[in-house]
Amino acid sequence: MSGYEVVEGPIVETQDGTVTASAHCTGTKKIIGGGHEALDGSSDHLWEVSVSRPVDQNHWVAIMRSTAPGAHRARAYAICVNA
């Protein structure tokens, strides 16, 4: 696969427990996969993932909710190749 690239989306922080994170392929590259990552170092709560999927040909979105109150951080990833 030509032009294989993993793109990290920006870190998104929330105070209400729900995080919507996204990542985009650059230029004319197309998405072939993606994922998400919870960036909280604590293991005292769980994350519920309601969405982790492509929205179009070059954009991945993840929507996650933490079971614990307070601030939480997450990010999405896009796996891209040349079109």
pLDDT of res. 44: 66
Question: What is the Cα–Cα distance from 83 to 5, expressed in whole angstroms?
Answer: 12
CA distances from 81 to 7, 25, 34, 70, 75 (A): 11, 8, 12, 37, 20
pLDDT at 66 over 90: no
Q: What residues are paired with 64 via a beta bridge?
A: 19, 49
In this prediction, residues 58-75 reach a mean pLDDT of 91
Residue written as tokens 């079109």?
Answer: 83
Give me the pLDDT at residue 83, please: 86
What is the tens place of the pLDDT at every residue in 12-57?
998 888 999 999 999 999 999 999 998 876 666 788 999 999 999 9
pLDDT at 40: 76
pTM for the full predicted model: 0.87
Q: What does the pLDDT read at residue 42?
A: 62
